[in-house]
Structure 1
Amino acid sequence: MKEIDCRGISFPKTIRMVKKYFNSIGEGEAIVIVNKDSDNANIVKVAMSKGYQVEIEENDEELNIMIEKRGCLEIIDEKEFSILITSDKFGAGDEKLGKILLNEYLNALNESEKLPKNIIFLNEAVKVFDTNGNKEKINNIKLLSQEGVDVLVHEGSLKYYKLDIVDDFVEVVDMYDIVDIINESKNLIKL
């Protein structure tokens, strides 16, 4: 049985490692080892969405997620999508109105029946996480995370704008992660 050790590795990288292995085989099984505090629910969700059998064993420090692929047909959700946000405002018009509109969009997205798989903040969009900014925007993003949306923020953009992320529901990623996520997205919406 293949062992995929993901202790100390970020969630997007873990998913890519698991997908890469299972895409490379017809049938087989693997044990994915993750830290107990990691986002294992999404690993399980991804494996089950592909029709794989999943079992979890837990000890004091880690989780062993046993995934088995046997004659599975992948369940494909054609409407799965990711959102790439590149600005801290919506549209090219008035700046104040644009910021209001982005907040309204995030609020409406929370109430939407279909949520994105990922929401990626890049370039100026990372400014929404400025602690002096609009707390309502951050709360809307946090609610999306609680509904299972992966909230990803570009590390280089944070450094450029001299911002630190203090929110635990956010995953800071590099451009290589963003490229992989965009390439794996069935549909991408850019705001």
Structure 2
Amino acid sequence: MKIIDCRNMACPAPVVTTKRGLEEAGGEPLQVLVDPGAPRENVNRFAVNRGFSVSETPIDGGFALTITPAGAPAVSPVPVPERAGKRAMLIASDRLGDGPEELGRLLMKNFIITLLDLAELPDRMFFLNRGVMLTTEGSEVLEALEKLGNRGVEVLSCGVCLDFFQRKELLRAGTVTNMFTTAEGLLGAGLVIGL
């Protein structure tokens, strides 16, 4: 049985690492070492929601989760509803939520990086207002945005916003867009996700 150690990993790394481990295990049991609290709960919930059974064994300072198929195919895909039109994402800030700034930035970074591990991606990502800080020099998600672009996601940053923050020359991911293209893209999308 393969063992993967997810201790001392920040969210969402334990779930993402477990997902990859299950894919590589090809239906064989997998043991995942996790910290108590959210990592234990998140990995357990992830596995159960995909049809696996999970048994827990306390270990020094954490848990060993043994994940075994329970008659379901390994890592069954999450059903995606049919949609008409493209899927657009509107990102209007460099952080997620209204809590502490540091937490909001961490959540946004984790969200964008986690997109790389999903089967379904947005067709277009529109960055407006402080969201353009994510597509310009110094952003911690430039590599993730580049990889998303390589997978067909169109990364578009508001030109007015880049000018306002004096960042147009610092754009490092995607291309500059305008409000007409943004409005047309959002109104013509089959699904719009706003962050």
TM-score tier (shorter):
0.5 to 0.7
RMSD: 1.9
Opposite residue 92 of structure 2, the aligned amino acid is T
Q: Which of 113, 116, 131 in structure 1 is aligned with 2:137?
A: 131
1:21 corresponds to: none
Offset from partner CA, 1:98-147 (integer Å, 9 cap, x none): 1111110011111101000100000110112342332xx11111111000
1:166, distance to aligned residue in structure 2 (A)? 4.8
Opposite residue 133 of structure 2, the aligned amino acid is K
Aligned length: 114
Structure 2 gap ranges (5+): 1-81
2:152 corresponds to: 148
1:189 corresponds to: 193
1:97 corresponds to: 103
Q: Which of 137, 162, 167 in structure 1 is aligned with 2:166?
A: 162
Structure 1 gap ranges (5+): 1-75
Matched, 1:86 2:92: yes
Q: Compared with structure 1, are the counterparts of its residues 128 and 173 closer, same or farther at alpha carbon in structure 2 (3 Å cutoff)?
A: same
Compute the TM-score of the two structures, normalised by the length of structure 1.
0.55
Q: Compared with structure 1, are the counterparts of its residues 107 and 156 closer, same or farther at alpha carbon in structure 2 (3 Å cutoff)?
A: same
* Identity of matched residues, %: 24
Distance in 1 of aligned mates of 2:128 and 2:182 = 9
1:57 corresponds to: none
Matched, 1:171 2:175: yes
Higher Cα Rg, which structure: 2
1:118 corresponds to: 124
Opposite residue 159 of structure 2, the aligned amino acid is E
Compute the TM-score of the two structures, normalised by the length of structure 2.
0.54
